[in-house]
Amino acid sequence: MECKICKSKITKHFANKNGYVFYRCIKCKTIFLNHLPSVKKLNNYYSSQFSYTDGLKNEILIRKRSKQILMHIKKYLPYGKTLCDVGSGYGFFLNEAHAAQYKIFGIEPSQQLVRHAKKHFGVHTFLGSLTKYTNSQKKQFDIVTCIHVIEHVTNPKQFITLLLKIVKPGGLLYIETPNSDSHLLYVERESYTFLIPPDHLWLFSQQSIKQLLPKYSSIISINTYSYSEHLMGIIKRIIKSLSLSERSEESTERNEEKKREEFTLSNSKGLDPSANHFRMIQKFKKNLSYLLFDRTLAPFLTGTLNWNHKGSILELYIRKNK
């Protein structure tokens, strides 16, 4: 199958997920669906069926990340005043941008998310797709942000062209998306965290994003970043793989040990004080491990995933030259 981004014919099957088939391009490292849903079907899905519950759960994390993005935007475009967020969701990023003294505007196809942004933050949001906006409006902005959206669209090359269409000459486009050339992907493989059809139709690398950019734009900066849970996911996956190998060699002994442990725990309801003591020790060890590694060491070590742009999330700052 030909790569839908770089047109290379060197592709291979990557994974089957929820009835969808993904392929991977060996050359540009893009992961893509073999059959994309229609634009009409996607528009209907995002306007009336899409539910982004994780957005509400992760509000604090999203706001923290938003402040970091805005800090870098200010560095690359200090005179920028107007900002449009495409796929503005619940409005958390725009609310932070407003606090940073930007004149804000959002484009969002989900009625539910638009209502939330208006009710809680008074954010003015255009209800509809980016295509619908560019067909009816001509307003341009100093800064356009597109955070975890491009992996959702059927035609990413056209989508980037439309994004740049609403950027003023000399202005800045910020794109953030999962990185298909990351350590997380190489370890998790077909169980990759961001392999979520039909929400995610594509997964991009820095090579594939470069293929999508028109000549009148230039990349100011490419970075990757990761969260500590990504590092933990990688470590747990490796440990699980190693333990499976050991289990195949010592299956009988381990099964017997498991049976003894289950028997001990099943008789721990006040009948055997030593069993309760054993369970408390196991719980203490688990909590201590979480505090020492997950909460202390993991955040410190997570930065190592980003070496050579192999972090879990890809971010690009792009200048519109004309």
Kindly tell me if the per-residue pLDDT of 193 is higher than 50. Answer: yes
**CA-to-CA separations, 251 to 21, 149, 236, 261, in angstroms, rounded:** 34, 46, 20, 15
Helix (H) / strand (E) element for 24: namely strand 20-25
**CB contact set of 304 (below 8 Å; sequence gap of 6+):** none
Backbone angles phi, psi at 25, to 5 degrees: -85, 125
pLDDT of amino acid 291: 43
**CB contact set of 106 (below 8 Å; sequence gap of 6+):** 84, 85, 86, 88, 91, 94, 114, 117, 123, 124, 125, 126
Q: Which of 55-64, 86-95, 244-253 has the lowest mean pLDDT?
A: 244-253
pLDDT of amino acid 266: 53
Reported as a pLDDT band with limits 50, 70 and 90, residue 271 is: very low
pLDDT of amino acid 37: 81
Q: What percent of the chain has pLDDT over 70?
A: 77
Q: Over range 126-146, report the average pLDDT.
A: 95
Nearest-angstrom CA–CA distance, 208 and 202: 10
Reported as a pLDDT band with limits 50, 70 and 90, residue 230 is: confident
Kindly tell me if the per-residue pLDDT of 282 is higher than 60. Answer: no
Domain 40-177 has CATH 3.40.50.150: yes
Sheet holding 202-203, edge to edge: 11-17, 20-25, 31-33, 202-203
**Cα dihedral sign, 240-242-247-253:** negative
Kindly tell me if the per-residue pLDDT of 132 is higher than 60. Answer: yes
Q: Domain boundaries in the chain?
A: 40-177, 231-303
